[in-house]
Structure 1
Amino acid sequence: MANTNKTYFLVSSWDFPKGSVCLGSLTSSPEQPHITLFKPGDGDIDTTTFPTTKDDYTGVVRSEKGDKGGLFFRFLDLFGLGAEASVKYDRKAVLKYSFKHMHTEWFIPSEDLVKKAVQSKRAASHLKRIAYDSPLYMITGLKIVEGASVTTLKNKGKDFTAFLGVDAGPVSVGPQASHNSQSTELQTFSNSTPIVFAFQLMEVRCDAKGNVSTMAYNTGALFGLDVDSGLPAEELEKTVAKEVTSEVLKKEFGDAFSASASIDEEDGSPCVVIVPVTATTA
């Protein structure tokens, strides 16, 4: 199975602390991944999970040259510095961003887990209410970032520098700003809790007879897996993925999302980022 692009949905704000979105949970809408119809218990995820971590990353984006930046940069570009210090960037700026840790974990749900999820009381009630006409969505991957910082240098002699700190210890809530009348303005934001900023999905369809089918939201082969992934061949063969484009998203979700190319800062590989459109107009 060839190595191909991964696909990530961005969350809709900074308000998703670690644990608010979890692997194996089932939701009726990718716009609200934290509102679940099923959340797995201890021992429910009985298949292999694949965790990776990237430490001490720094990236520089020169927007005037058309750089798209990485996946986490796309999140920053949408939401600024967080709810308490909402700052949009000058897109003609030179932007430097970094983080202390980025953790990614994903898995391929077992048939037993998927069936347990759709047969759970809340999920079964929801499916019956909508006459099984719409799919549900299982969270199959998460990206969590900790210790982020951002620096933006504006043109025309004016500097704007902003920092995000996700540190252990007391929480410092809200912006702290100082202003130099000549050229410089400083704003800081700190938050002690790591945040979920992106996730991966699997579509789950169920009919009134209990037949269940799944399809991963991914551009090509599921998460770039190959025969050396350690998963049984039958699991790889059962995993179905579809290419995700803006046209596909519009057909399935209306104008809620758009898709574009990006880079996964964790390993430098190309990926597809699915952006909540409502965030770009807020």
Structure 2
Amino acid sequence: MDRETLISKWLNNELNDQELEAFKMLEDYDDLVKLSDGVQAFKADDYNTSAELERVLKTIKTTKKQPSNWVKPWMRVAAILAICFSIYFYTTTIDTKVTTEFAQKTTIELPDNSSVNLNAKSLLAFNKNSWKNEREVTLEGEAFFKVAKGSSFQVITKSGTIKVYGTQFNVKQRDTYFEVICYEGLVGVTFNSQETKLKPGDSFLIIDGKQIAKEKENSATPSWLNNESTFKSLPYKEVIAEFERQYHVTFKLQNIDANQLFTGSFAHNNLEVALKAITLPLHVTYSKTNGTITLKRE
């Protein structure tokens, strides 16, 4: 017996013992039961089919001028069913969303035991109910993925799509910055309808719409997992933007070229040490006023 027939008979309490066992084997059995419990508040008044039919027949015999009211109870039942299925489809299509704030990181376990480390000021969304058929997540920000073996796994960002052929990789998508680094296995990055395959140590970097060549990555994992941000010949504005996310501060630059390249790192657990790390190499001074830091070159 097909799924729709089983659900229909279940709604009408017409399942025999064998059909009930088949209904319990449905993949979304738990969701359907929860849905049934949740809509009890919408339940229509008790309706005696036999009594109502007898009343309708008597009405037909006594007069043909008055319109029949037999459809009204069925309209109530139809309305309840519509509400049931609306709630069901809403709950099965809604996404699970995880967000992080300034200076916050978190780890997410996906339904297939894949794990995602989410960096500060980021968002990850996925659908639990469709996961068995489509392993797909949407990312805004930065995340490190360890993907369990299985069917195709995709990460969708505003800048491009990452298709996973391996297991460990990092994705960073921030405004005009898009970077993917493969740490293990094989990763495919689709940007402007063209796919680039990355092997361990390979990177794909786009800044302001231009692809930037990078040296081979030698680390086993991204540095931010260890509370440190590392940069190799990247524009100073990217360093400042990451600093703001990790410390929830705002920068003002005076006489400083935001596009000059910076190589270095800063820790996420000590503001003063971190400030020195990004200013001393460039001979820049800084001053603090509340949550605003002014960087200045004399």
What TM-score do the two structures reach when normalised by structure 1?
0.17
What TM-score do the two structures reach when normalised by structure 2?
0.17
For the pair shown, the structure with the greater C-alpha radius of gyration is 2
Higher helix share: 2
Higher strand share: 1
Larger RCO: 1 or 2 (CA < 8 Å, sep 6+): 1
